[in-house]
Amino acid sequence: MESENCLNEVTCPLSKRAEAVQWILLSILIFLVPMVVPQLLSLIFGVDSIIATNSQYVVGTIVNTVLITVGINVKGWKQIAGLITLPSISAIGSTFIFKTASIYSSYMIPAIWLGNFIFVYLYRKLVVQKKFNYILTSIIAVLAKASIIYIGFRLLTLLTIIPNMGKVFQMLNISMGVNQIITASIAAVIGMAITKIYSKKRGKENE
C-alpha cells in the first residue's frame, strides 16, 4: 500500500487531461530518442565523428532526464512501467546505438528495466515523498541504477550468455558500466532544474 501511494505522489499535481498529455509527450520522446538522435548526429557531424560514434552519451542523458521527470511527476504503475520499458526496446530494436552488439544487449533488458524502475522509484520515494536532499538522492539513484545494470551484465558474461571477451564485451562493458554513471549524473543536473520548475509551478498554484 505504501509503495502504491508513493507512485501516486508527485511534485506538481496536474489535471487528468494535463497528466495524459504529459505522459504521451514523454512516451514519444523517450521512444524516439534512441532511434532518431544517433541518425541526426551522424547526419550533422558525420558518421565517423566523435559525437556520432558516442551517441549513447547524448541518448542516455536525454533518456535519464525523462526518467527523472517520470520519478518526480508521473503517476501510477502502468504509466511509469510504460515509460521505463520504452527506451531499451527502442535502442535495441533500432540497433543504432549497440549496432552488432544489439543481439547480446537484448539479454540485458530485464536488468535495464529493473535499474530504470529503481532509478525512478528512488526519486519518487526520497525527493517527492520524503523531501530528501535532491543531490544526495541523485547520488544514491545513479549508483543504484548503474550497479543493477552492471551486475546484470557481469552475471550474463559469467554464464557466457554474453561473450566475456572481444569487441562485443568491451563495448557492452563500457555501455553497461561507466556510461550509465556518466549519463545518469548529467541527467541529474538537468533534472534539478526540472524539479525546481515543477516546484515553482505548484507554489504558484497554491498561492
pLDDT 10s digits, 2-35: 555 777 889 888 899 999 999 999 999 999 998 8
Residue range 24-48: mean pLDDT, rounded: 91
**Average model confidence (pLDDT) for the chain?**
88
pLDDT of residue 8: 82
State how far the Cα of 133 lies from the Cα of 54, in Å rounded to an integer.
Answer: 32
State how far the Cα of 99 lies from the Cα of 96, in Å rounded to an integer.
Answer: 5
pLDDT of residue 1: 52
pLDDT of residue 116: 96
pLDDT of residue 6: 77
pLDDT at 163 over 90: no
Segments in the chain forming alpha helices (H): 2-6, 16-45, 50-53, 55-73, 77-94, 102-105, 109-122, 134-158, 166-175, 178-206
Angle, helices 134-158 vs 109-122, to 10°: value is: 170
The identity of residue 78, as a single letter, is K
pLDDT of residue 165: 81
CA distances (Å), 105 to each of 20, 66, 110, in order? 31, 21, 10
- Any idea where the domains of the chain sit in the sequence? 2-206
pLDDT of residue 96: 57
What's the pTM?
Answer: 0.91
pLDDT of residue 207: 54
